[in-house]
C-alpha cells in the first residue's frame, strides 16, 4: 500500500519534471535561434542533464509499476479493492450510525422549561412530584409491604403440610405486592387480549426493557420467571419470596448454570399445576425502541407452545428503560416514583408453535417479528449479550472471511 502511495507521488513528481524539461528545451531552442555565442555550451549541458533525469525517472516508474496488478483490462489499484468492500462500508456506517449502542441508550426528555412563562410551571411540578407525590407513594409501598409480610410469613410456615393451598395464597400475595409497586409509580397499564392461564407445555416470552416488566406482568398473573441473579435486596427477594411462585435464577457467567437451567425449564413446563413460565429471550434490557436477537435455547427448544407478550412504554412522563450498567435498581425505582406516572400497554398475542421444517432460530425470529410489529419496535441483528462481552473469535473470523472473499472477487473481475 505504501509503494502505491509512493508511486502516485512519483507520478506527480514526474509530471512536474516533464514540465520543467519542456521549459528547458524551449529555452535551449530560443538560444539557438537567437545565435547567442554561449548558447551551444549551455544547450549541451541542459540536454545532457535532461537525458539523465529522464533515464532516472523512467527507471523509477518502471520499478514502481511492479506493484500494480497487471490485468488485461488495466491496472488494479488498491483503492479499487477497498471501494467495493462491504466490510469497510459496514465499518464506516457503524461510525455514522451505530445501531448496537443505540439499543442501550436512554433518551433524555426534551426540555420544555426554556422561557420565563414555562419555568415557574416546571418548578411547581418539581415541588408536587418530590414533596407530595413521592411521600404519598412511599407510604403506599410501605403499607403494601406491611400487609404482604404480615400475611406471607404465617401462610408460608403454617401451611407447609398443605402445599396446594399454600401455593394458592402465596401466588395471590405476590400479585398483591406487585400491584402496590405499580401503584407507587402511579402506573397506568392497559392490558390487551385474554389473560394468561395455567396450562402444561406452554411458555410466555416478552421483550425486555426493565425489571419492572416482570412486576407489571406479575400483578395480573403469577408467572414463574427466568431471571439473572441480582445482589442486594433484590437478590434477597429472589431467594425467598419469588421462589415460592417457582421462579428460576441463573448466572450467565456460569456454564454449569446453563445446563441446570435447561433441565429446570423442561421439568417446569411439563407440570400442569405450575405457574406459567415467563422468559425474556433478549437476555438483557433494551431501551424499548429496538429488539435484539432472541436466544433460541430458552423458550424455543422446549417443544411447547410459545405465547408472545408485547410491552410498550409511553415516554411522555418517564423513560422506563433500566440501564443496569449505570444505575442500580433502587435508583431506577426512585426515578419512577418521582415521575408523574408510568404509562404502558401490554398485548397478550396469539400463541405460536414451531412449524414443520422450521429451526429453533427461525422460530425465535418469527416470534420476535410478531412482538416487534405489535409494539412498534425496530429489529436489529445484534446479540444483546455483546453489551457484557467482546465479540467471539468465531464472529471475527466470519468478518475476516467475508472481507477476503470480496477482495478475491474483485481481483477476478479485474
pLDDT reported for residue 34: 37
3-state secondary structure the chain: CHHHHHHHHHHHHHHHHHHHHHHHHHHHHHHHHHCCCCHHHHHHHHHHHHHHHHHHHHHHHHHHHHHCEEECCEEECHHHHHHCCHHHHHHHHHHHCCCCHHHHCCCCCCCCCCCCCHHHHHHHHHHHHHHHHHHHHHHHHHHHHHHHHHHHHHHHHHCCCCHHHHHHHHHHHHHHHHHHHHHHCCEEEEEECCCCCCCCCEEEEECCCCCHHHHHHHCCCCCEEEEECCCHHHHHHHHCCHHHHCCEEECCCCHHHHHHHHHHHHHHHHCCCCCCEEECCCCCCCCCCEECCCCCCCCCCCCCEEEEEEEEEECCCCCCCCCCCCCCHHHHHHHHHCCCCEEEEEEECCCECCCCCCCHHHHHHHHHHHHHHHHCCEECCCCHHHHCCCCCHHHHHHHHHHHHHHHHHHHHHC
pLDDT reported for residue 86: 61
Task: Give the Cα separation of 106 and 111 in Å (integer).
Answer: 15
- Residue ranges of E strands in 74-164: 74-76
| Residue 4: strand, helix, or coil | helix
Q: Are 204 and 278 in contact (CB under 8 A)?
A: yes
pLDDT reported for residue 188: 95
The DSSP 8-state label assigned to residue 391 in this structure reads P
The DSSP 8-state label assigned to residue 219 in this structure reads T
Residues in the chain, how many?
414
Q: What residue has cell string 410469613?
A: 153
Q: What residue has cell string 424499548?
A: 288
Task: Give the Cα separation of 228 and 242 in Å (integer).
Answer: 13
pLDDT reported for residue 62: 42
pLDDT reported for residue 281: 92
Q: List per-block mean pLDDT (blocks of 10 residues) for the chain, which spans 414 residues.
A: 41 43 38 38 44 46 42 55 58 59 77 83 94 97 95 88 87 93 95 88 93 93 83 76 80 65 82 87 91 86 92 93 88 94 96 93 94 95 72 69 75 70
- Phi and psi at residue 379, to the nearest 5°: -85, 135
Amino acid at each position: 500500500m505504501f509503494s502505491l502511495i509512493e508511486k502516485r507521488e512519483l507520478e506527480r513528481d514526474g509530471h512536474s519534471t516533464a514540465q520543467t524539461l519542456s521549459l528547458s528545451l524551449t529555452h535551449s531552442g530560443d538560444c539557438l535561434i537567437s545565435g547567442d555565442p554561449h548558447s551551444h555550451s549551455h544547450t549541451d549541458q541542459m540536454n545532457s542533464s535532461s537525458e539523465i533525469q529522464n533515464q532516472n525517472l523512467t527507471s523509477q516508474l518502471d520499478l514502481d509499476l511492479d506493484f500494480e496488478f497487471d490485468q488485461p483490462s488495466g491496472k488494479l489499484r488498491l483503492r479499487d479493492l477497498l471501494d467495493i468492500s462491504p466490510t469497510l462500508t459496514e465499518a464506516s456506517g457503524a461510525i455514522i450510525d451505530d445501531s448496537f449502542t443505540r439499543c442501550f441508550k436512554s433518551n433524555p426528555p426534551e426540555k420544555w422549561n426554556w422561557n420565563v412563562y414555562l419555568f415557574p410551571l416546571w418548578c411547581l411540578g418539581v415541588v408536587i412530584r418530590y414533596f407530595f407525590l413521592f411521600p404519598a407513594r412511599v407510604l403506599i409501598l410501605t403499607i403494601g409491604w406491611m400487609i404482604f409480610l404480615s400475611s406471607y410469613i404465617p401462610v408460608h410456615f403454617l401451611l407447609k403440610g398443605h402445599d396446594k393451598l399454600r401455593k394458592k395464597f402465596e401466588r395471590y400475595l405476590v400479585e398483591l405486592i406487585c400491584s402496590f409497586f405499580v401503584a407507587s409509580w402511579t402506573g397506568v397499564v392497559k392490558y390487551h387480549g385474554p389473560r394468561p392461564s395455567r396450562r402444561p407445555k406452554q411458555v410466555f416470552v416478552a421483550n425486555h426493557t426493565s425489571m419492572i416488566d416482570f412486576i407489571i406482568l406479575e400483578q395480573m398473573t403469577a408467572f414463574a420467571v427466568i431471571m439473572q441473579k441480582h445482589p442486594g435486596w433484590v437478590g434477597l427477594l429472589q431467594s425467598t419470596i419469588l421462589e415460592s411462585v417457582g421462579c428460576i435464577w441463573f448466572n450467565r457467567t456460569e456454564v454449569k448454570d446453563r445446563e441446570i437451567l435447561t433441565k429446570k425449564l423442561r421439568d417446569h413446563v411439563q407440570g400442569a399445576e405450575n405457574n406459567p413460565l415467563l422468559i425474556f429471550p433478549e437476555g438483557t434490557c433494551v431501551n424499548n425502541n429496538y429488539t435484539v436477537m432472541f436466544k433460541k435455547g430458552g423458550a424455543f427448544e422446549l417443544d411447547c407452545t410459545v405465547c408472545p407478550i408485547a410491552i410498550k412504554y409511553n415516554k411522555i412522563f418517564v423513560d422506563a428503560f433500566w440501564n443496569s450498567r449505570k444505575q442500580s435498581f433502587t435508583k431506577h425505582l426512585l426515578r419512577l416514583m418521582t415521575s408523574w406516572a408510568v404509562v404502558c400497554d401490554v398485548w397478550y398475542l396469539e400463541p405460536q408453535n414451531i412449524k414443520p421444517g422450521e429451526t429453533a432460530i427461525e422460530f425465535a425470529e418469527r416470534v420476535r417479528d410478531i412482538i416487534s410489529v405489535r409494539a412498534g419496535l425496530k429489529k436489529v441483528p445484534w446479540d444483546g449479550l455483546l453489551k457484557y462481552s467482546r465479540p467471539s473469535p468465531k464472529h471475527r473470523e466470519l468478518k475476516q472471511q467475508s472481507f477476503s472473499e470480496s477482495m478475491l472477487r474483485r481481483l477476478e473481475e479485474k
